[in-house]
Chains A and B, each alone.
Chain A
Amino acid sequence: MRQPPMPRGHAGAPGARRGDDLPPPETLWRESWRLFKRDRLAVLGACVLALLLVAALSGKALTEWVVVFDPAVVRLPEKFLPPLSFSSNAAVPPHDRPFGGVYLLGTDELGRDVFARMLQGSFVSLSIGFIAVGIALALGVVLGGLSGFYGNVKLGVVTVDTLIMRFTDVMLCFPTFFLILTVVALLPPSIYNIMVVIGLTGWMGTARFVRAEFLALRKQDFVLAATAIGAPDRRVIFSHMVPNAMAPVLVSATIGVATAILTESGLSFLGFGVQPPFATWGNILADGKGFIFDAPWLFFIPGFAIVMVVLAFNLVGEGLRESLNPKLRKR
């Protein structure tokens, strides 16, 4: 080694002042969080999403693993009870009574506990949202990345970029919802098919984002520097380009989850989505629409939940967009 040895006591001296000429270290994520916190609405949205996550996980646990709230029990003597009613009808056997004897959100036309059904539905909605967006992101990042990084490579007469981006354009030409309806009409309407179909029709925006980011990043000196030190393409892409291209992807993913939840609710509402007896917000809403004047809670509770969650995702997405915006940070 040709470097001179380090002078002793320079760095490791006890009590040495650290960073006397610089403010304390702040990682980019920490800085983003600080900026995010300034946006009250986004923080509110994040709180709603945290609640939703808790609801979805406990919903899965309490309606399937340890059945505390059973969404499937039919209690015809106690149908159409408004929220916060007590279960008092003697015709209902004791083991069919709801937890604590209270219907928090009332009962539906078959006397099922709406609270239990909403809990079950929250897990379905959220998992469809996340998995569909996961599929869309994976496809979008891979296709957009290929297009942006290896775009100039020729495949016969066309370049990789032309091939991928024209395919993206073709996919964008279809009205997504009707495409999904067609596909779902042909396939058995299971929850997994819905996830996959929503994912396969939702990657185009991400692909375009990632391609644009990659094209811009390729010209950046630090990417060139990584090539100059002899880093293989794999490393250039995954350690230098992907982390710097993630901000807009994260934003579009957040808003994508909202869209996926909305799409699933729409499908279930039309009867093409998740099939009964599985409850989702969409089919609770669809069931409730017939009783809008007799039992308005059946209609308004799932509707309100959908609005809140979609709004929360959008607020968080906007908040992220702002906080990850490099123009807002100090250099």
Chain B
Amino acid sequence: MEPIATHTRSLLDVRHLKKYFPVRSGLLANVSAWVKAVDDVTFDIKPGETFGLVGESGCGKTTVGRTILRLMEPTGGEALFEGDNVFAMDAGTLRAARRRMQMVFQDPYGSLNPRMTVSAIVGEPLKVHKLAGGPELAERVSQLLHRVGLRPDQGSRYPHEFSGGQRQRIGIARALALNPKFIVCDEAVSALDVSIQAQILNLLKDLQDEYRLSYLFITHDLNVVRYLAHQLAVMYLGKFAEMASSDVIFSNPKHPYTQALLSANPVPDPAVKRERILLAGDVPTPLNPPSGCRFHTRCPHVMDQCRTVEPPLIHLDAPDGGHKVWCHLYA
């Protein structure tokens, strides 16, 4: 255990988070195996900071976001939000805590109820927590719509009448309604066109500056996190591979997986010569992850011990907050 003093400054402190999904088979639906979607993940987010979580599809990023908000029950670990363990809260406390932590979803088509008007959607959090009603509610909703760049008179319309970017703005307005301190952005811009992505990212950044919001920004797009994230973690098959400030990761990546990811990231400059690291094969199934280091099946620098021994956490020196890497290469 680290001393208390280090995490009093954090807004959110996630320790040893685990989420296993049972695999049932057979006549009696016995649990025959576990998919370790998230396997012992520890990180913390400071107020006003963006924590980027990067990884391939199926590596457990979304599961991290959803378990922190208790939209899924975690298997183990704890998440201290302003000192209170979210995973230990009863239903009433949790509902109250949800005023302070919100979520923006990936799919702008699926995350809005098609049978509610935009005003009803954006005003619902206020109604649920009985924070506003009547004309005050309408006033607050139109302020929120205005803040995210929608015209308040569009509030009487239904979600299907809006474009993807506009819908994502509606989703952001809903998340902002309760004045939260922390928002999980789960692939919040992945479903949008690049030009719209930039608009939404700018909006998120402005809102962060204005309200000192913290984001957990989950994405597979490195260019997106580079723009937004202060801290960055790279995830592979349910575990972190590397964690450091965003600048350090982009300028000096240590883990072979991070290096491969960065080399696959397009750079909009044809003059830049890049060395591509091509990974062979696919991501192994999390149902039966490789022994030792989970990345060893695809790692260009694989050594004998990687196949059997789980890599330890290595602390490397770096400006702002250190550089953590889980790799035998640096042991």
Binding site for B on A (CB under 8 A): 1-6, 10-11, 16, 18-19, 22-23, 25-28, 220-222, 224-232, 235, 239-240, 243-244, 329, 331
Contacts and interface: CB of A to CB of B under 8 A. Distances in A.
A11 B103 CA distance: 29
Interface string B29-51: 00000000000000000000000
Interface string B81-105: 0000000000000111011001101
Contacts of B128: 229-232, 235
A27 B161 CA distance: 10
A106 B294 CA distance: 87
A244 B179 CA distance: 29
Contacts of B177: 229
A77 B269 CA distance: 104
B153 interface: yes
B95 A232 contact: yes
B258 to A, nearest CB: 30
B147 A222 contact: no
B323 interface: no
B144 interface: yes
Interface of B: 66, 69, 71, 94-96, 98-99, 102-103, 105-107, 109-116, 124-125, 128-129, 140, 142-144, 146-147, 151-154, 156-158, 160-162, 171, 174, 177-179, 210-211
A329 B115 CA distance: 14
B71 A2 contact: no
Given A222-B112, A224-B71, A230-B129, A4 B99 contact: no
A244 B115 contact: yes
Given A220-B110, A229-B98, A22 B157 contact: yes
Q: Could you tell me the dominant secondary structure of chain A's interface residues?
A: loop
Contacts of A226: 113, 124
A224 B96 CA distance: 17
A84 to B, nearest CB: 51
B103 A228 contact: yes
A151 to B, nearest CB: 13
Given A25-B156, A228-B69, A222 B211 contact: no
Contacts of B143: 1, 3, 5-6
A243 to B, nearest CB: 5
B115 A19 contact: no
A162 to B, nearest CB: 10
